[in-house]
């Protein structure tokens, strides 16, 4: 059975495609890419059909990540097929939980940085869209830091060892 994770940000062109790319690389490195599927979406449809922001593509490529991506908007009906919905900031978390058809679906929504023990109290990944390239670098660093903890949690679910 495939475990499905969807990363969600605002427009699905910066943060969530970066998180998807990093997490796909982590699952491949862990030998779980045949059991874990990752994708991404936005809370809004402004960029639907577009590729990832060129700055996100550049930063991903510079760090050895794939960035093939087409933006799309998250749909409430997707909860039925997803095991985990990863929000990139608290605004997305609230929007996704409101969108969830059931309480069980709402419990599937988590903040990405909650998986980073060094994150402290601020669990939001800042939106780099209106800034310079260094914001995309910072976003990637946060995503990479949280991806290890997320991978451990997903591995526990896939291997049936979750508490």
Q: Would you name the residues annotated as active-site residues? A: 9, 15, 127
Sequence-ordered list of residues with C-beta below 8 angstroms from that of 27, at least 6 positions apart, any chain:
33, 36, 38, 151, 154
Sequence-ordered list of residues with C-beta below 8 angstroms from that of 110, at least 6 positions apart, any chain:
84, 85, 86, 87, 93
Q: 10 Å Cβ neighbour count for 73?
A: 15
**Rounded Cα gap, residues 22 and 66, in angstroms:** 8
- Residues across the chain: 163
């Amino acid at each position: 059975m495939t475990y499905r994770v969807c990363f969600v940000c605002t427009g699905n062109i910066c943060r969530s495609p970066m998180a998807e790319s990093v997490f796909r690389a982590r699952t491949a490195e862990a030998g779980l890419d045949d059991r874990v599927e990752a994708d991404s979406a936005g809370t809004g449809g402004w960029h639907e059909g577009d590729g990832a922001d060129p700055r996100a593509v550049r930063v991903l490529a510079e760090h050895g990540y794939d960035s093939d991506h087409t933006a799309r908007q998250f749909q409430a009906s997707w909860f039925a097929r997803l095991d985990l919905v990863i929000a990139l900031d608290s605004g997305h978390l609230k929007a996704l939980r409101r969108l969830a058809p059931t309480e069980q679906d709402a419990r599937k929504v988590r903040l990405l940085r909650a998986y980073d023990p060094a994150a402290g109290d601020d669990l939001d990944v800042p939106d780099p869209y209106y800034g310079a390239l260094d914001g995309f670098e910072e976003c990637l660093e946060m995503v990479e830091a949280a991806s290890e903890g997320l991978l451990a949690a997903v591995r526990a679910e896939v291997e049936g060892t979750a508490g």
